[in-house]
Amino acid sequence: MPKFPKPKAPGLIGGLGVTFKTMLKGAVTVQYPHEREDPPTRARGVIALKEENCTVCMLCARQCPDWCIYIEGHKEKRPPRREGGRERTVSLLDRFDIDYALCMYCGICVEVCPFDALFWSPEYEYSESNIADLLHDKEKLGEWMETVPEPEPLEVGAEGKK
Amino acid sequence: MIELAVNVGWGTILAIKTIVVLAIIPLGAIILGYVFLLKMMAHMQSRLGPMDPGGFHGWFQLIGDGIKFIQKEDVMPAKSDRRIFAIAPAVVVISTFLVFLVLPTGPDLVVSDLDVGVFYALAVSSLSVVGVLMAGWASANKFALLGALRAAAQLIAYELPLLLAVVGVVVMAGTMSLQGIVEQQQNGAIFGWDGIGNPFVFAQIIGCVLFLVAAQAELTQTPFDMPVAESELVAGYMVEYTGFRFLFFFIGEFGTAFAFAGLAATLFLGGWAIPHVTDPGWSNVLGPIVLLTKVMLVAFLMFWVRFTYPRLREDQLQAVAWKFLIPIGLANILITGALKVAF
Amino acid sequence: MSVDFAVDRQAWRHLADAQVNVELDTGDMILNLGPQHPATHGTLRLVVRLDGERVVSADPVIGYMHRGYEKLTEFRTYPQVTTLINRIDWLSSFANEVPFMHGAELLMGIEAPPRAQYIRNILTELSRIATFLLFLGEMGLQVGALTPPFYGFRDREHVLNLIEAATGGRFHPNFNRIGGLKDDLPWGWVNECRNTMKVVFDACNTLEELVAENEIFQGRTRSIGIIPQEVGAGYGVSGSNLRASGVDWDLRRDGKPYLVYPDLDFKVWTHPDGDSYSRYWVRLQETREAARMVVQMLDRIPSGPIMAKVPRIIKVPEGEVWVETENPLGQMAYYVISKGATGPFRVKIRSASFSNVSILPWLLRGVYVPDVITILGSLYFILGDIDR
């Protein structure tokens, strides 16, 4: 059984000094509803959809670890680009939902999209009181596009994007 | 008594004083709780504490908490001993109330200036042990029982250093009455210089430190808060209490802190007295303010230690009391007695 | 090969009933430090048999947080698995990804470029600092001091902000990819990192003065929970716990080389005592050492690409690999079996805390109840790591 160590004042007094100094130094609290801290540019807050780039390739829905992206699309015919050419078919989105109740914010969908239709935005204040409202549909995802920041410059020594 | 225009009997005066004391206990608890527990602790931890309730730095927080507690459902554990469970918080608060009865805040502002004031105050303050044991046992919860057993051992062990520290003061003052002790400090002199009277904190510095340490233990505050060890027992003997009963325990805890700080201020710092202000009219008005200031100073020390140190284990706690504090207390009495006779 | 286990159905029922022994006890009290308890970092249940305040026997019951990682990884691709394994030890998430990625890269036979290795290493050491700062603070809380955890959290914010600026996520970076990293560092990150390391050194000094030098803390932790070297090594305890018992073993220096540790100049801290205080002390020194390592790496970080040449659809060739690394909690290892698909066939995760917790029945005999809390705090396990 350990014995109580001989009282040496320095350790005990030093501790008191630390708390006293901290008390005088002021708090680090950011009083949230009245003040906000801005997250960095790359912060993974919400995913935004640029609908015109999407070709309904379904890669994002397939690669999502949670399968939280729901996509439905249809094909339409478009007139040929040149005279005498073949008719083109384009895929158009009917439904593109991301269920943020399931989303793990991993970013695989954004990374894997070959057509740059998905973007990260640092916006994080979209809590709802009803869990079904966390399913953001195509229009809402398009609205998040306004909050997507410009990509920042990279650090010294980095090569650019390949 | 202050000259009153209307002639009232002593019963009415006693009733008025009692009601004032009953009002002061929660008020004192709220002041101490807000300033030290909420705000000072927060700043020591680099945060702000409550800021919104009441608008200005959250002063309404504790009052709002009190209102919230009052309107909660009265829940008792199924297997608990109902009557004892209900009475236990009241026992703790009653013991606090009894200590307040002898605490003087002015030359006439004391409910009852007993000749054995100090002795009585220490005696009734140990009634809270019974309340703690009742709470722990009646809760039908093993964690609560552990906390209560620890509390019983600790509170009884630290009664002795508390007493020994006070004996030195009594020897120096020559009286056990608290008003008498205050008067001795106000009118005394330090080696012939009576600029600030003779607050016993200088002559009895060992006794003062001993009293503060023992008071810390009596209040079950860190570093002696084994009974309420938050990270193990999660509020120890109070764990099954909610709502109004928990409010009683809270008021009891901080009310007792106020009482002990008041006792320390009275015994060592001179209580309500300001040296050289002897006019009873002025003293009766300024006395409470002066006492409150001194109480806040003492409470600052107690809470500063509470928020900084980890807690001692039960056997280490007992070792500190029996092997360390009591011998020092006895030595203090010897030295004080010898010096008192010599000078 | 079939092994015949005689399933003792009575034993299973007893675990659920919190009966440690079936025989009638003679007045001992059974205390359930249950799944919900402030002292057991998560949902660990400790069924403790007390004689007064002394522990007669203690049995940890784990599994309340089992999420089925090894089964989940059987049906996911490598990037998806990376996302999941971030969440095993959530306080130092980046360090969980590193051995898995290293294993996949070994199977593929490619190596990440030097800049990627350096950045990986810096982020690993940053996550080590983050989790140890939390430990230094909340160990104070386990023994009763109320202010150290706030200092730990406050100073950890700076490190988390750094990780978020680089990877986008404070707790779950999900930054490693087979062949390198997802992105390069943002502009100004290196300077931010240097400033943050100064904050980390200050934080270590503050916590040392407030907690480690406090006589009451020393009285609560010295000679408590002594793990002898052979017993510790026999139970599989690893990491700072073992180094605090005097065993000079650190996989960053002694194991198979990974990341840029062979090029770094760092000291492995040990302490001869093996008690709770020495575990605290070793982690304190390791935090400082990690900050020094980060500064070294920041000075030497090379320029270049951060991703090796990998095909678009990555299929890892057939093979098996065992990779073990020095995670903040101890030795973490992955055994990855690949059958040539886009995802692993089987991943076996050897997590550090699982073995660290296995020593608890041995260690907790005959100690007081407050010491149980101290020991649990000093071993520093994370429930996600135990239960996976």
Residues 113-142 of chain C whose Cβ lies under 8 A from any Cβ of chain B: 140-142
Residues 6+ apart with CB under 8 A from B11: none
A157 dihedral zone (left: phi>0; alpha: psi -120 to 50; beta): left
CB < 8 Å to C29, chain B: 142
- Which pLDDT belongs to residue C279? 92
C204 vs A121: CA distance, rounded Å: 35
Cβ contact C150–B47 (<8 Å) = yes
Question: Touching check for B304 and chain C: CB below 8 Å?
Answer: no
Question: Touching check for B323 and chain C: CB below 8 Å?
Answer: no
Chain A / chain B CB contacts < 8 angstroms: 43
B268 dihedral zone (left: phi>0; alpha: psi -120 to 50; beta): alpha
Best mutation site among A29, A44, A46, A118 for testing chain C: the one with the most C CBs within 10 Å?
A44
Question: Touching check for B309 and chain A: CB below 8 Å?
Answer: yes
Best mutation site among A159, A161, A162 for testing chain C: the one with the most C CBs within 10 Å?
A159
User: Can you list the residues of chain C whose pLDDT is less than 70?
Assistant: 1-27, 38-40
CB < 8 Å to C223, chain A: 2
Q: How far is A42 from chain C (nearest CA, A)?
A: 5
Cβ contact C368–B313 (<8 Å) = yes
Closest CB to A15 among B45, B47, B309? B309
Question: Touching check for A25 and chain B: CB below 8 Å?
Answer: yes
Structure tokens at C157: 């914010």
- The overall average pLDDT reported for chain C is 86
Reduced 3-state DSSP string for chain C: CCCCCCCCHHHHHHHHHCCCCCCCCCCCEEEEECCCCCCCCCCCEEEEEEECCEEEEEEEECCCCCCCHHHHHHHCCHHHHHHHHCCCCHHHHHHHHHHHHHHHHHHHCCCCCHHHHHHHHHHHHHHHHHHHHHHHHHHHHHCCCCCHHHHHHHHHHHHHHHHHHHHCCCCCCCCEECCEECCCCECCHHHHHHHHHHHHHHHHHHHHHHHHCCHHHHHHHCCCCCCCHHHHHHHCCCCHHHHCCCCCCCHHHHCCCCCCHHHCCCCCCCCCCCCHHHHHHHHHHHHHHHHHHHHHHHHHCCCECCECCCCCCCCCCCEEEEEEEEECCEEEEEEEEECCCCCCCEEEEECHHHHHHCCHHHHCCCCEHHHHHHHHHHHCCCHHHHHC
Cβ contact C209–A154 (<8 Å) = no
Q: How far is C156 from chain B (nearest CA, A)?
A: 13
Strand-pair category, C180-181 with C319-327: unpaired
Closest CB to A29 among B40, B44, B48? B48
Cβ contact C307–A28 (<8 Å) = no
- Which pLDDT belongs to residue C19? 44
Cβ contact B315–C368 (<8 Å) = yes
Strand-pair category, C176-177 with C180-181: antiparallel
Cβ contact C154–B311 (<8 Å) = no
Question: In a 3-state reduction of DSSP, which class is residue B143?
Answer: helix
**Cβ neighbours of B256 (radius 10 Å):** 25
CB < 8 Å to A38, chain C: none
Closest CB to A22 among B46, B315, B316? B46
| Sign, CA torsion B295/B300/B303/B305 | negative
Question: Touching check for B143 and chain C: CB below 8 Å?
Answer: yes
Give the amino acid at B254.
F
Q: How far is B257 from chain C (nearest CA, A)?
A: 19
Question: In a 3-state reduction of DSSP, which class is residue B157?
Answer: helix
CB < 8 Å to C37, chain B: 234
pLDDT in tens, A21-60: 888 887 888 888 888 888 888 888 899 999 888 888 899 9
Question: In a 3-state reduction of DSSP, which class is residue B75?
Answer: coil
CB < 8 Å to B310, chain A: none
Question: Touching check for C248 and chain B: CB below 8 Å?
Answer: no
**Cβ neighbours of A50 (radius 10 Å):** 16
What chains are in contact with A, requiring at least 3 Cβ pairs below 8 Å?
Answer: B, C
CB < 8 Å to C143, chain B: 310-311
Best mutation site among A16, A42, A64, A161 for testing chain C: the one with the most C CBs within 10 Å?
A42
Residues 6+ apart with CB under 8 A from A115: A53, A54, A55, A57
Best mutation site among C77, C83, C136, C273 for testing chain A: the one with the most A CBs within 10 Å?
C83
Q: Which residue of A has its CA nearest to B318?
A: A4
B221 vs A49: CA distance, rounded Å: 56
Q: How far is A1 from chain B (nearest CA, A)?
A: 9
Q: How far is C146 from chain B (nearest CA, A)?
A: 6
- Which pLDDT belongs to residue A161? 53
What chains are in contact with B, requiring at least 3 Cβ pairs below 8 Å?
Answer: A, C
CB B205 within 8 A of CB B195: no
* Residue carrying structure tokens 């990974």: C258
- Which pLDDT belongs to residue A37? 84
C123 vs C118: CA distance, rounded Å: 9
Mean pLDDT per 10-residue segment, chain A (162 residues):
48 84 83 85 89 88 90 87 80 89 90 90 89 89 87 75 48
Cβ contact B142–C29 (<8 Å) = yes
Give CATH for domain A46-147. 3.30.70.3270
Closest CB to C83 among A19, A106, A159? A106
Phi, psi of C269 (to 5 degrees): -90, 130
Cβ contact B222–C370 (<8 Å) = no
CB B57 within 8 A of CB A29: no
Structure tokens at C295: 């500064």
pLDDT in tens, B78-129: 888 888 888 988 999 999 999 988 888 888 778 888 888 889 999 998 888 8
CB B278 within 8 A of CB B110: no
**Cβ neighbours of B30 (radius 10 Å):** 21
Chain B / chain C CB contacts < 8 angstroms: 78
Question: In a 3-state reduction of DSSP, which class is residue B193?
Answer: strand
Question: Touching check for C188 and chain A: CB below 8 Å?
Answer: yes
Question: Touching check for C203 and chain A: CB below 8 Å?
Answer: no
Q: In Å, how far are B85, C241, C265 from B129, measured between CA atoms?
A: 15, 41, 59
Q: Which residue of A has its CA nearest to C77?
A: A63
CB B236 within 8 A of CB B150: yes
Q: How far is C326 from chain A (nearest CA, A)?
A: 25
Residues 6+ apart with CB under 8 A from B281: none
B199 prior amide bond cis, ω within 30: no
- In terms of residues, how long is chain B? 343
CB < 8 Å to C368, chain B: 313-315
Q: Which residue of B has its CA nearest to C41?
A: B231
Cβ contact A65–C165 (<8 Å) = no
Task: Indicate the CATH number of C69-363 among 1.10.645.10, 1.10.260.40, 3.40.50.720, 3.60.40.10.
Answer: 1.10.645.10
Q: What is the pLDDT along chain B (343 residues), one digit of tens a residue?
A: 455 556 778 888 888 888 888 888 888 888 888 888 888 888 888 888 888 888 778 888 888 888 998 898 888 888 888 888 889 889 999 999 999 888 888 887 788 888 888 899 999 988 888 988 888 888 887 777 777 888 888 888 999 999 999 998 888 888 888 888 888 888 777 776 777 777 788 888 889 999 999 999 988 887 888 777 654 556 677 778 888 888 888 888 899 999 999 999 988 888 888 877 777 777 788 888 889 999 999 999 999 988 888 888 888 888 888 998 999 999 999 998 888 888 7
Cβ contact A28–B45 (<8 Å) = no
B250 vs B242: CA distance, rounded Å: 11
Cβ contact B310–C53 (<8 Å) = no
B32 vs B298: CA distance, rounded Å: 11
Strand-pair category, A135-136 with C29-33: unpaired
- Which pLDDT belongs to residue C255? 83
Cβ contact C215–A5 (<8 Å) = yes
- Which pLDDT belongs to residue C26? 52
- Provide long-range contacts, Cβ within 8 A and 24+ apart, for C192-198: C192/C162, C192/C165, C193/C122, C193/C126, C193/C162, C193/C294, C193/C298, C194/C295, C194/C298, C196/C158, C196/C159, C196/C161, C196/C162, C197/C291, C197/C294, C197/C295
CB < 8 Å to A10, chain C: 213
- Which pLDDT belongs to residue B262? 92
Q: How far is B154 from chain A (nearest CA, A)?
A: 16
Cβ contact C216–B223 (<8 Å) = yes
Cβ contact B45–C147 (<8 Å) = yes
Q: Which residue of A has its CA nearest to B36?
A: A23
CB < 8 Å to A31, chain B: 48, 51
